[in-house]
């Protein structure tokens, strides 16, 4: 039900209410065999399409089914929201029904021949796959390799922007020699080129940082799982996970480079408003990346503690 309660019938004040009353009567007369789920759409509607009388009838109906009939109702906004709710609630109904049947079987209230002969296997198929050691090793290796590639790409981008910054500085110095102390228009051109260079660098990091976060999380979670499985199931020496040390080292080295470049950018003179804005953007994106590196380093340190005998 949304914004309209409906038109009266011979048995109720709307067709929907009549259907509800019939369903409620059946539910009360058949114990737990019937489940009622009622949904109200709560999406905003244009004021010109709102019928105050219909809205009041809906409010009265909601109060009645809740307080008098003891029925739980659910609100939703969008079609996707409704779909998720129905799927979740139907799944719960099926699970409850399945549990009830299992209890009846245990109490010998159902004949044995009515039990599914493959009940145990089917129940097992419902469970999530149990993680395996080799699956996690493969995932860890793949994700760590992806992180290394990402870090290498960002390091190359850092080298490129450093070279361009040096080039732009040389261009400005060259122009200044012929500017006689005045702000030459060619200097403005170089400043704009510098802004373009820095924005390209920013966009590169914007594309790489989410990838780093994703693969780093997968890698470290997989490594942590490997350690736990190895310690519990195999009692193995974890020296083969020495790659964690190199992994942490590469993160710390990259962090040092980023901090150095951040300091260089921070010390750049305030030349134009556009240039100043780009400076702040570069520092901000570098801080975002450094935060991710810091989290990665902290997690690797925690993992190294797990590896200690």
**Concatenated DSSP letters for 136-166?**
HHHHHHHHHHHHHHHHHHHHHHHHHHHHHHH
Give the pLDDT confidence score for residue 234 in this predicted structure: 45
In sequence order, the 6+-apart residues with CB closer than 8 A to the CB of 123 are none
Residue ranges of the chain assigned to CATH 1.20.1050.20 = 133-307
Give the pLDDT confidence score for residue 106 in this predicted structure: 52
Alpha carbon distance 87, 103 (integer Å): 24
Give the pLDDT confidence score for residue 249 in this predicted structure: 82
Q: How far is CA 6 from the centre of its chain?
A: 41
CA angle 262, 267, 269 (to 5 degrees): 130
Options 3.50.50.60, 1.20.1280.290, 3.40.190.170, 1.20.1050.20; CATH of 133-307? 1.20.1050.20
Q: Would you state the torsion angle of the CA atoms of residues 213, 219, 221, 227, taken in this order, to the nearest 10 degrees?
A: -160
φ, ψ at 11 (rounded to 5°): -115, -10
Quick one: residue 275, left, alpha or beta (phi over 0 = left, psi -120 to 50 = alpha)? alpha
φ, ψ at 41 (rounded to 5°): -80, 130
Contact 158, 261 (CB under 8 A): yes
> What are the tens digits of pLDDT across the range 147-193?
888 888 888 998 999 899 888 888 877 776 665 555 567 788 888 88
SS3 for 268-281, per residue?
CCCCCHHHHHHHHH
- Least confident among 29-38, 66-75, 125-134, 210-219: 125-134
> What are the tens digits of pLDDT across the range 21-73?
888 888 887 656 778 888 888 888 877 788 888 888 988 888 888 778 777 77
Contact 209, 292 (CB under 8 A): yes
Alpha carbon distance 23, 5 (integer Å): 17
Q: How far is CA 109 from the centre of its chain?
A: 46
Alpha carbon distance 268, 264 (integer Å): 7
Contact 151, 160 (CB under 8 A): no
- How far, in Å, are 216, 228, 243 from residue 293 at the CA level? 9, 24, 17
pLDDT value at 93 more than 50? yes
Closest CA to 193 of 169, 211, 173, 158: 169
> What are the tens digits of pLDDT across the range 247-301?
788 888 888 888 998 998 888 888 888 989 999 999 999 999 999 988 888 888 8
> What are the tens digits of pLDDT across the range 169-178?
888 777 766 6
């Amino acid at each position: 039900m949304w914004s309209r309660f409906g038109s009266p019938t011979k048995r109720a004040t709307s067709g929907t209410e009549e259907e509800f009353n019939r369903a409620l009567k059946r539910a009360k007369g058949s114990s737990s065999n019937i489940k009622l789920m009622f949904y109200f759409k709560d999406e905003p509607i244009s004021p010109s399409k709102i019928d105050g009388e219909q809205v009041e009838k809906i409010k009265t109906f909601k109060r009645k089914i809740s307080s008098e009939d003891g029925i739980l109702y659910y609100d939703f906004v969008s079609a996707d929201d409704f779909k998720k709710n129905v799927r979740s609630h139907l799944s719960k109904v099926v699970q409850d029904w399945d549990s009830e049947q299992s209890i009846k079987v245990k109490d010998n209230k159902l004949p044995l021949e009515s039990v599914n002969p493959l009940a145990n296997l089917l129940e097992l198929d419902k469970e999530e796959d149990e993680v395996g050691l080799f699956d996690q090793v493969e995932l860890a290796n793949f994700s760590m390799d992806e992180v290394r590639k990402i870090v290498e790409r960002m390091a190359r981008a850092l080298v490129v922007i450093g070279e361009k910054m040096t080039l732009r500085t040389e261009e400005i110095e060259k122009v200044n020699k012929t500017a006689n102390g005045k702000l030459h228009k060619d200097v403005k051109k170089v400043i704009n080129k510098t802004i373009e260079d820095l924005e390209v660098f920013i966009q590169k990091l914007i594309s790489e940082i989410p990838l780093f976060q994703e693969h780093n999380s997968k890698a470290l979670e997989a490594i942590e799982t490997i350690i736990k499985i190895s310690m519990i199931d195999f009692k193995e020496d974890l020296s083969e996970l020495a790659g964690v040390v190199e992994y942490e080292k590469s993160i710390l080295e990259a962090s040092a480079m980023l901090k150095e470049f951040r300091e260089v950018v921070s010390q750049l003179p305030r030349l134009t408003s556009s240039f100043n804005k780009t400076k702040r953007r570069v520092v901000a994106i570098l801080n975002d990346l450094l935060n991710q590196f810091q989290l990665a380093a902290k997690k690797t340190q925690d993992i190294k503690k797990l590896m200690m005998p």
